Chain A
């Protein structure tokens, strides 16, 4: 029998607000244990939560960026479960009235992943088990999260990968999270079941919690998919359970048994009041939302005529896209700007992280001015390249490196003289060319360009050279 994967994702994304969701403690990552804490986030008796406005705003931005409806009225609920990292023994979350619902993300294969809901909630603290002792650090307790819950719409681990990457890019782009999986600011719970192809019913699902690497997540899904099929093929039954993925051997194993069935006893948190968002407020947030990476990519291709690969690279982060757009504003050929960024500026970035941050020593306007010089025929491409390198080294504008004569271009008489000199100085190359070796012309061309310090138009030079030696 042929089986297909059915998978859904719950993604926790830490919001990059300055303060926690219910108190004014900093959300900064790291720090000595229990130094970003106060009576509120530690749940001292009698303390009360107060909702951070920015959390609501960021969650709405996330909802709009994933095509969700924003609820006019939503509320906060308590999810009750006792664990030492949860100081109040309940997590303040949203149960039946989430802030955002019914969104989607479209994949490149044309399939649509439906988002059931996005809600806001608080993170828990951290436990360290050592030598039988348990150490508790509540610095992360109360850091704001959004949980993005999809329908079981994934049919392959590749789809999961693309979705997570897209989600990551979008959240970073709109500035609500840094989505660093290795620091835990983005993590996924994935549920997996299989069913015979063509079947409409869902199989029994298992859940793998707290995946914080896309690579391991796809491996885990593939492993679990094969394992479940094996079980079914051998006449077995899938047990509904929570699994852990073992990174060392690439297998999954059971985390806890069903005896402690989750019963979270959700109810409205009486310490907090309703969140009422008007349509006008939603529209204002929508208007303030930056153009999303996908929309930008399409526009770069259609409006600027960029190849898809370039468009993709330039929309890897908002910083890159904004730089590109500012630098190509009013230039004749944005592809030149794209080339400068991808070919020269990226090369100076140490890694992907730095690329995304895109901290460039020159403002975009310097690059634009440089490209405008090319557009107006005042400089040639290779001079542009060398000048850009000097600009990037020094952080100074193009005018610092281009002399009057550079900018005045090459006069036709001079150009002819350069060509004649080159022909005279390279008899071998001339002979080769005449013997049919077209490549020999390149040597002559190089010599002319050198003499003109790169200012000459290569096509024009070629034309003159051929005229001289044919």
Chain B
């Protein structure tokens, strides 16, 4: 049974705010989905741990510097910036 507290705790970890009027609906949805997920507990697991899906290994890069992106490109999509920094302005 997923509780309101569970949802609020998970939301905090997820950096999501759940409004009071949404809480019941999210809790109900979560409860249904978790119940649905619980069906895997009926499965007997034969195989050991699953490894990476495409079984590749040792994919490396050489330690060679390439030019970074100009900082105006880096900052282009930021809502707010100052002196080359990403900025989170004081509000309220």
A residues contacting B by CB (< 8 A) are 17-19, 24-26, 32-39, 42, 50-56, 73, 75, 82, 84, 89, 128, 131-138, 260, 263, 265, 268, 270, 272-276
Contacts and interface: CB of A to CB of B under 8 A. Distances in A.
25 contacts: A19-B63, A24-B64, A24-B65, A25-B65, A33-B83, A33-B84, A34-B86, A35-B84, A38-B74, A42-B74, A50-B60, A54-B62, A75-B52, A89-B15, A131-B90, A132-B90, A133-B87, A137-B84, A265-B13, A273-B56, A273-B58, A274-B57, A275-B58, A276-B57, A276-B58
Interface of B: 12-13, 15, 51-54, 56-66, 68-69, 71, 74-75, 82-90
Given A25-B68, A276-B58, A34 B85 contact: yes
A19 B87 CA distance: 26
B63 A17 contact: yes
Contacts of B62: 52-54
Given A52-B63, A75-B52, 9 more contacts: A19-B61, A25-B68, A34-B85, A38-B74, A51-B61, A52-B62, A53-B60, A132-B90, A274-B57
Contacts of B89: 133
Contact of A32 (B56, B82, B84): B84
B56 A39 contact: no
A398 to B, nearest CB: 41
Contacts of B66: 19, 24-25
Contacts, number: 111
A132 B91 CA distance: 9
Contacts of B74: 34, 37-38, 42
B63 to A, nearest CB: 4
Interface centre among B59, B62, B68, B75 (most CB of A within 10 A): B68
A50 B66 CA distance: 14
Contacts of B58: 273-276
Contact of B64 (A19, A84, A133, A275): A19
Contacts of B83: 33, 135
